[in-house]
């Protein structure tokens, strides 16, 4: 039996042989692996619960489009450098690129990098830029604006100072 199995097959079995993650959108600014990384990070920031997660409402594609069409070349370069540093940090800490880590490892790494960025302050690093874009993309999506925030296309009369308990949740409009 041992002679019937090739060395790559045996190595695949011993290494766990997991399929490479994929995405269901076509990046125009990022490479496919970068798109997968962005998708995974955004889903950690806003996971699917009783409401859709960031990936489900198209936040990774929103970030890709923002980077391509809105950000300056200098900001694009900073973001790309931060993304590369983020991935290399994961590889240094866990021995594998971020997209190949387990869900628990990815979540722990994002939390660690995020908490360090908050402690340091100063210029916003990659993880905080991704967080900002994730929140903007999610809460300007239909699901974010209608299922998480309150939304009325044409709000009625103005009521200035109401306790939040009376309102229920924050308004999208």
- At residue 173 the predicted structure's pLDDT band, cuts being 50, 70 and 90, is low
Question: Considering the domain boundaries, does residue 80 fall inside one?
Answer: yes
Sign of torsion over alpha carbons 113, 125, 30, 133: positive
What CA–CA distance (Å, rounded) separates 37 from 27?
12
Provide the number of structural domains found in the chain: 1
Instruction: Say if residues 23 and 39 touch (Cβ distance below 8 Å).
Output: yes
Say which residue, 46 or 169, is predicted with more confidence: 46
pLDDT of residue 38: 96
pLDDT of residue 21: 60
Burial letters 28-50, b for 16+ CB under 10 A, else e: ebbeebbbbbbbbbbbbbbeeee
Question: Considering the domain boundaries, does residue 9 fall inside one?
Answer: no
Phi, then psi, of 150 in degrees rounded to 5: -80, 145
Question: Considering the domain boundaries, does residue 10 fall inside one?
Answer: no
Model pLDDT for residues 104-113, shown as the tens digit of each residue: 999 999 999 9
Model pLDDT for residues 122-170, shown as the tens digit of each residue: 788 999 999 999 999 998 888 888 888 777 777 677 777 878 787 777 7
pLDDT of residue 133: 95
pLDDT of residue 15: 46
Question: Considering the domain boundaries, does residue 128 fall inside one?
Answer: yes
pLDDT of residue 132: 94
Model pLDDT for residues 6-41, shown as the tens digit of each residue: 444 444 444 444 445 667 778 999 999 999 999 999
Alpha helices in 46-172 (DSSP H): 59-69, 73-94, 103-120, 126-139, 142-143, 164-167
Question: Considering the domain boundaries, does residue 135 fall inside one?
Answer: yes
Domain of residue 56 covers: 19-167
Question: Considering the domain boundaries, does residue 4 fall inside one?
Answer: no
Question: Considering the domain boundaries, does residue 97 fall inside one?
Answer: yes
Question: Considering the domain boundaries, does residue 173 fall inside one?
Answer: no
To the question of pTM greater than 0.85 for the whole model, the response is: no
């Amino acid at each position: 039996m041992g002679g019937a199995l090739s060395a790559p097959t045996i190595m695949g079995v011993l290494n766990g042989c997991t399929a490479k993650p994929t995405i269901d959108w076509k990046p125009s600014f990022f490479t496919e692996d970068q798109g997968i990384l962005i998708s995974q990070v955004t889903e950690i920031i806003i996971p699917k619960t009783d409401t859709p997660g960031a990936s489900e409402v198209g936040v990774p594609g929103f970030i890709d489009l923002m980077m391509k069409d809105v950000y300056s070349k200098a900001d694009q370069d900073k973001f790309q450098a931060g993304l590369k540093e983020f991935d290399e940090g994961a590889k240094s800490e866990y021995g594998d690129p971020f997209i190949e880590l387990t869900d628990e490892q990815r979540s722990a790494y994002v939390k660690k990098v995020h908490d360090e960025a908050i402690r340091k302050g100063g210029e916003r690093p990659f993880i905080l830029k991704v967080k900002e874009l994730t929140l903007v993309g999610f809460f300007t999506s239909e699901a974010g604006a209608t299922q998480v925030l309150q939304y009325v296309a044409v709000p009625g009369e103005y009521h200035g100072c109401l306790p939040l308990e009376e309102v229920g949740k924050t308004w999208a409009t």
